[in-house]
Amino acid sequence: MAVIPWYANEKVRALDARLIESGVSGLELMERVGRGIVDFILKQPLARSALILAGAGSNGGDGFVIARLLMERGWKVTVLLSHAASRSQGDAAVNLTRLGEMPVPVVESRDRDETALTELLNSHDLVVDALLGTGAAGAPRGETARLIAAVNRCRFGRHVLAVDVPSGAEGGEGVEAQWTCTAGGWKLPIATGHGAALAGETVLIPLDENAAPLLGVPDALELEERDVRNFLPRRRIDDHKGRRGGVLIVAGSKRYRGAALLAARGALRAGAGLAVLASVPEVLDVLAASLPEAIAEPLEDAAALERIMAKWRSRCSVLLIGSGLDRDSRARGLCRIGSQWDGPSLWDGDGLYWLGEDDIKPVRCCLTPHEGEAAALLGGRSPVRDRFEAAAALARQYGSVLLKGYRSLVAGLEQTPWIVPRGDRTLSVPGSGDVLSGACAALLAAGVPAEKALALGAWCHGVSGEALGRMQGQDGILAHEVADCLPAVLKELNGAC
């Protein structure tokens, strides 16, 4: 696989320590980081003016190097300290002293009120965030928090570049960057979710050409298109619908009627040869008109599900349960019976709400939760803070997991987590997750192994959203349109094989 490796902060900090032990000074490492970032900056179409926001730690030291190198190249540069200059220590203090030998204005933010701070930000084309690095813990405070808020308030019309990680990425308000230049190795806090959204485009600044063995085993792997192509189900020219795989979908309720239809649509659009929808009459009444290719099975009560499962087990290898199922006693009964399915099952939506009850313990299941659902499954009330930790915990407890969100995660019991780097805000619409669960179920039914099916489904779903966003704009797309784009995405992947 041609994946991109991501590492925990501790491993990248250990790389710094090993390089210093090998004879590379801390000052030289700062110089390498600053030089690499300046090389990146000079390739961008910018107006040659930069405001460097510098903190008291090593991240600020990197900022001082960037300021000096840009000044040497004829840029207008101002350095804004979040602290008293005397608080800079070690290599950062050395680079601040070097900067003092040049005609670079160095000012402290505490001497600027909000109006003056806004004017300073607006007078520079590029803002460099060198306030906090990977060693920062907790939410930003004091002047640092004030500067982060000011950058975000004034960022429209400005270019913002974060050094290593956006300040505040691991708690509280974080800098919303256009670019993040991260040094030594790709770092987990900006790999997925909110941290990745803050980081914008991430660029790796190498510290040493032999860094890979020093970093050790990656903590996550980002998939690329060439990897995902290898996950595609193997189709034959003489395939019939039975060979494509069947999905039994237990979904929908009087209150949530569309979710079941969207899950079935996602399954069929992802290539399922058979989609059987077991649902309430209010859902099935519109099925023939909206999706005549699906088969309807009336689900009068929980007991009926046992008969339906027995009837279709030979033709449907996968059970998809939960989309729009609601959270009443009827739904609980359906989930209890559904947990007795003896093949692969995929649990989504309201199915996740009931998962984990004493008598609801499926044996071979996949999960597709968002952060709130993941937190609830793990006993919490608020969205998870560490997406990697949450995905791993769910995989240990239940099986293969697709933790949805920006740059979704796929985790399994015995594999390094995968990052799926496709999808954007186009997909943040009602029913989008139902389409995704249907697509993943179809790929499971086609014989794709669980983690690969989840990753491939998330990839195709993400690319569909991106394509619609480019064609029609990122706002106002409907979930059924995402489903209808899936065949074209699969065609493109298959054509690249």
Taking only the tens place, the pLDDT of each residue in 326-341 is 999 999 999 999 999 9
Q: Whole-prediction pTM value?
A: 0.95
pLDDT value at residue 157: 77
Taking only the tens place, the pLDDT of each residue in 108-143 is 999 999 999 999 999 999 999 999 998 887 889 999
β-strands 159-163, 126-130 pairing: parallel
Instruction: Determine the Cα angle at 66 with ends 65 and 70, to 5°.
Output: 120
Average pLDDT, integer, range 145-154: 95
Average pLDDT, integer, range 258-277: 98
From residue 284, alpha-carbon distances to 36, 273, 287, 292, 318 in Å are: 60, 19, 5, 10, 20
Domain 4-222 has CATH 3.40.50.10260: yes
Average pLDDT, integer, range 278-305: 95
Binding positions: 58-62, 129, 133-139, 164, 167, 259, 324, 370, 404-408, 433-434
pLDDT value at residue 286: 95
pLDDT value at residue 497: 46
Binding positions for K(+): 59, 129, 167
Assess contact for 270 and 438: CB atoms under 8 A.
Answer: yes
Whether 250 shows a pLDDT value over 70: the answer reads yes
Which band of pLDDT confidence, cut at 50, 70 and 90, is reported for residue 391?
very high
CA distance 409 to 459: 11
Whether 230 shows a pLDDT value over 50: the answer reads yes
Task: State the DSSP H helix or E strand holding residue 18, giving kind and residue range, or none if neither.
Answer: helix 9-21
Binding positions for (6S)-NADPHX: 58-62, 133-139, 164, 259, 324, 370, 434
Taking only the tens place, the pLDDT of each residue in 68-86 is 999 999 999 999 999 999 9
> Domain locations in the chain?
4-222, 225-495
User: In this structure, what token pair is assigned to residue 198?
Assistant: 């803050």
pLDDT value at residue 78: 97
User: How many residues are listed for the chain in this entry?
Assistant: 497
Average pLDDT, integer, range 155-180: 92
Lowest-confidence region among 79-83, 198-202, 382-386: 382-386
Taking only the tens place, the pLDDT of each residue in 476-487 is 999 999 999 999
Average pLDDT, integer, range 355-368: 87
pLDDT value at residue 74: 96
Contacting residues for 300 by C-beta, under 8 A, at least 6 apart = none
In sequence order, what DSSP letters do the residues of 409-469 get, joined into one string? EEE-TTS--EEE----GGG-STTHHHHHHHHHHHHHHTT--HHHHHHHHHHHHHHHHHHHH
Taking only the tens place, the pLDDT of each residue in 419-468 is 999 999 999 999 999 999 999 999 999 999 999 999 999 999 999 999 99
CA distance 418 to 389: 13
Whether 154 shows a pLDDT value over 50: the answer reads yes
pLDDT value at residue 52: 98
pLDDT value at residue 380: 81
Which band of pLDDT confidence, cut at 50, 70 and 90, is reported for residue 172?
confident
Closest CA to 160 of 189, 117, 121, 205: 121
Task: Work out the widest C-alpha separation in the chain, in whole angstroms.
Answer: 83
Assess contact for 389 and 440: CB atoms under 8 A.
Answer: no
Which band of pLDDT confidence, cut at 50, 70 and 90, is reported for residue 187?
very high
More confident residue, 474 or 496: 474
Q: For 225-495, CATH number?
A: 3.40.1190.20
pLDDT value at residue 134: 87
CA distance 148 to 131: 9
Contacts of 108-115 with C-beta under 8 Å, sequence gap 24+, read: 108/80, 108/81, 108/83, 108/84, 109/53, 109/80, 109/81, 109/82, 109/143, 109/146, 109/147, 110/143, 112/80, 114/150
